Each structure stands twice: as C-alpha cells, then as structure tokens.
Structure 1
Amino acid sequence: MQIQVNSDNHIESSVRLEEWVRNTVESTLERYEEDLTRIEVHIQDENGDKPGPHDIRCQMEARPKGHQPISVTHKASSLDMAVDGAAVKLDHALEHLFGKLRSKRGGVSAISNTKDSDAESPDALLQEEFLEKDDALHG
C-alpha cells in the first residue's frame, strides 16, 4: 500500500511530518493493506496565517483494488487531530465498503482479517443470527 502525503503552503512539509502521517495511516488501516493500492493524504490550513477553530483540514482518499476511490475529510484545530480523525473516518468507510462486499458474497470475507474468522467476532455473530432468521422464514 503506497501512501502519498501532500500539504499546502501554510503547513511546512518535512520528512518527520510525512513519516508520522504514514505511520498513523498504516497503523489505523493495516488490516486493509492487501486490499488498497494507494492512499493520498492532503493536509491544508484553510485560514492560512489567520488563527481559527477547526481550520486544519485533512482529506484522505483510499484506492481499493477494483473499486472506486473513497474519500473522507476531517477538520480540527490541530494537525494531529485532523490526521487522526480522517484516518478513523476512512477506517469506518472501508469497513462499510468491505462489509457490503462480504454480505454480497454470502459472508465470504473480502479482506484477509484473522478477526473475521473468529467465531466470536461481531460479523460472525451477525451472520449466524441472519442465517437463523433466514432458515426460520424459508425453512
């Protein structure tokens, strides 16, 4: 999974900043590593030199293999809160996408995640409950 970090003129880009953003994104989205080709991160200070609440904007765009890109945005008052917030939003968006794919494939996991194979996982319990109700209706 390739991670590309871009920032505007008001946020000083550095090797340390890019490394921190990459580490944050990798640790938050590591379970999708095999399913994504690239993630683009855009960091922007919307007010420039003027201070203001929630003026740091972080947009992340993930490119799932064989699917349309997914983009999320999070605004916050600090750079780390904006990046963390966007990473969490992207995690939720990808979980939603891959959850829909799993349900379309009859419960077969679209991602290789050891937690999904655990019988006590929420997905496994929901699938079991769904199958029981389906059997009751059609059985």
Structure 2
Amino acid sequence: MTIQLNTDKNLTIHQEYDEKIQTQLSEGLSRYSDLITRLEVHLSDENGSKDGLDDKRCLLEARITGKEPIAVSNLGNTYDLAITGALTKLKSTLEKVAGKMKSH
C-alpha cells in the first residue's frame, strides 16, 4: 500500500510528522493492506490562517483493486484529531466493502 500525503498552502509537513502520519495510517489499515493499492491523504485548513474550531480537515481516499475509490473526510481542532477521525470512518467503510467482497 502506497501512502501519498498532500497538503494545502497553509501547512508544511516536517519529515518526523510525515513519518508519524504514515505509520499511524499503515498500522491502522494493516488489516486491509491487501485491498488497498494506494491511499491518498489530503490535509487542509478550512479557515486558512484564521483560527477556528474544527477547521483542520483530513480527506482519505483509498484506491481499491477492482473497485471505485473510497473517500472519507473528517474535521478536527488539530490535524491529529482530523486524521484519527477519518481513519476510523475509513476502517468502518472498508469493513463493509471487505464483507461484501467475501460474500460474492
């Protein structure tokens, strides 16, 4: 599973944080690594440089062999919270997809 990290102009990712995100996602999705060919991570700040609640957005787009991509997003006060929420949503969706694939 390849993980591709994308950010908007309001965010610069340092190598340590990039590695932390990659590890969190690869460990969190390890159960589905045979299904996912590529995972695109899009991080953005909805309010730009202004402060705001739940303005950090994480969009996860999972490319699955032989299926349409699955996209989920989550907002949080921090990027870590946004990533964790999006990861939870993606795992729930992947569980349903994996179940349907096994039943066919």
Q: Which whole-Å deviations, capped at 9, do the CAs of 1:91-136 have from their partners, x for residues lacking one?
A: 1111111112222x2xxxxxxxxxxxxxxxxxxxxxxxxxxxxxxx
Q: % of aligned pairs identical?
A: 39
Aligned-pair distance for 1:42? 0.2
Runs (4+) of structure 1 exceeding 3 A deviation are none
Task: Report if aligned partners of 1:36, 1:63 keep a CA contact under 8 Å in 2.
Answer: yes
Alpha-carbon distance, 1:15 to partner:
1.2
Offset at 1:14?
1.6
> For residues 40-59 of structure 1, what are the structure 2 equivalents within 5 Å?
40-59=40-59
TM-score normalised over the length of structure 2: 0.95
**CA RMSD between the two structures:** 0.9
Looking at structure 2, the residues matched to 17 and 11 of structure 1 have their Cα atoms a distance apart, in angstroms, of 12
Whose strand fraction is larger, Structure 1's or Structure 2's? 2
Structure 1: state its 5+ residue gaps: 106-139
Name the larger-Rg structure.
Answer: 1
Unaligned runs of 5+ in 2: none
Report which of the two has the higher share of helix. Answer: 1
Q: TM-score, normalised by structure 1?
A: 0.72
Would you say the 8 A contact 1:24–1:87 is kept in 2? no
Amino acid at match of 1:48: G
